[in-house]
Amino acid sequence: MLPEIVAQNTSASQSVPWWKFFYDFSLLTQPVDVWLKGSVSPFWSTVIEMAIVGVLFLLFYAVVGLFLVYAERKVCAFIQNRLGPNRIGPFGIFQTVADLIKLLFKELIPIKNADSFLFNLAPFIVIIVNFMVLAAIPFSKGLHAIDFNIGIFYVIAVSSMSVVGVLLAGWSSNSKYSLIGAMRSGAQIVSYELSIGLAIITIVILAGSMQLSEIIEAQRTGWFIFKGHIPALIAFVIYIISSTAETNRGPFDMAEAESELTAGYHTEYSGIRFAFFYLAEYINMFIVASIAATLFLGGWMPFHVGSWDGFNRIMDFIPPFIWYIGKTFFIIWIIMLFKWTFPRLRIDQLLTLEWKYLLPINLLNVLIMAFIVLMGWHF
């Protein structure tokens, strides 16, 4: 029976035009799953599938991290009226690859009196947390590693673990600069996680679900930033500000204030261990932008306008993955503009913004959204 099912699925997938895979990746993944289950035991098919997904995430992590480093250099250069990377490769596109190769071959300098085990463990904690969160992000239709029914709860819970790696890095380095940077970063992350969580809860109330795939499906007739009225827009603005602060990016980069703390909690790191922290910052930026695109801008859903059938059909021609990438990189571009536009805040200003302004506004906003949903006033 299994060979017949495999044959049916294989022939069906071969009859599907290749370009349709870009609109529904399940047309590609399901036949592979069926073929593996028909070829090997259930245990080994699961192991092989996990290995394939793991390798794809490793490649994705490296490519996206290197591209975002290059993109930020170009955005910074544009704002400052410079050229940016322009030597290695066309338009300097391979400059970040050259930097990575340099870091790979750099010496790992041992730190005197440092806790070597925790010092080496800290970057891996940050990297592992990134991979765990990436697994829950729906990249496109049929391209979703894990679709929990409590996906939002999982994302909030797992992403909060990154502060453990930051605190370990600062404490184990035996450096006052690293320790102060880690303490600042810990206070900053814990504070702004509250506003991020409440902004997300605002959308969960509107969607009526914590499952990311269902939240995207609920936006088929319109993105939540439009359907949720003013509370959704307020939640979006607060989310962008808070996520910029949580990822330790300017103007909230007090943990890495060069004029005071050199490089903050990763001052004593070198070589590949420093590269881990450096890439993790950009992947964190990609993650928060992905979550924003999923919750507020419809994820991979195209832009539809009411009964404009002709316009909606044109929007449907654009593959879902392109919609997702476009929305995500638009938000990343906004976050990059923050860093190179606004001056750095003091630590007291940073915490005052959260506890005196964003958090009270967020609490009130959640109540307003709950009332709107209860009365059925949303679109």
Q: Report pLDDT digits (tens) over 274-329.
A: 888 888 889 999 999 999 999 999 888 888 877 778 888 888 888 889 999 999 99
Q: How much of the chain is helix, strand and coil, in % rounded to 5?
A: 75, 0, 25
Residue 76 makes CB contacts below 8 A (sequence gap 6+) with 82, 84, 336, 339, 340
DSSP state of 20: G
pLDDT in the model for residue 241: 93
pLDDT of residue 261: 64
Tokens of 143: 């391209």
Q: Domain ranges in the chain?
A: 2-39, 116-375
* Segment 32-88, tens digit of pLDDT: 888 888 888 888 888 898 899 899 999 999 899 999 999 999 999 999 899 888 888
Other CB atoms within 10 A of residue 30 CB? 15
Mean pLDDT value across residues 201-228: 89
Q: How far apart are CA 245 and CA 365, in angstroms?
A: 20
The pLDDT value given to residue 288: 94
The Cα-based distances of 269 to 276, 279, 286 in angstroms read 10, 13, 23
For residues 354 and 245, the answer to whether their CB atoms sit within 8 Å is: yes
- Token pair of 145 as six digits: 């590693």
Give yes or no for a contact between 272 and 103, defined as CB atoms under 8 angstroms apart: yes
Amino acid at site 350: L
CA distance 24 to 143: 8
- pTM metric for this prediction: 0.89
pLDDT digits (tens, 9 = 90+) for 331-360: 999 999 988 888 888 888 888 999 999 999
Residue 362 pLDDT: 94
DSSP secondary structure letter of residue 108: -
Q: How confident is the model at residue 379 (pLDDT cuts 50, 70, 90)?
A: low
Q: Which of 120-124, 132-136, 259-263, 268-272 has the lowest mean pLDDT?
A: 259-263
**Among 203, 76, 58, which residue's Cα sits nearest to residue 131?**
58
The reported pLDDT for the residue numbered 18 is 63
Closest CA to 199 of 251, 239, 249: 239
